[in-house]
Amino acid sequence: MAVDSELLEILACPKCKGKLALNSSGDGIICGACRLVYPIKDDIPVMLIDEADTLGPEEPVLQKS
């Protein structure tokens, strides 16, 4: 199960406080401004900067919902 769209609307990037989007595979939440991907583990977003991965240059920044 993916993250609920209502939850995604109220979440903000812990680093820049910017908007977030679900990645194409549904296993992470992307901050386009910081180019970070926060993982989703057991259907719970892990919104810790230390746990985030950096987006690669070839990866899309935002997914339209």
Residue-wise pLDDT for 1-15, tens only, equals: 568 889 999 999 999
If DSSP states are collapsed to H, E and C, what string results for the chain?
CCCCHHHHHHCCCCCCCCCCEECCCCCEEEECCCCEEEEEECCEECCCHHHCEECCCCCCCCCCC
CATH at residue 38: 2.20.25.10
What's the domain range around 31? 5-54
pLDDT averaged per 10 residues, the chain (length 65)? 84 96 91 94 95 84 52
Q: What is the pLDDT of residue 24?
A: 86
Q: What is the pLDDT of residue 65?
A: 44
| Domains of the chain: total | 1
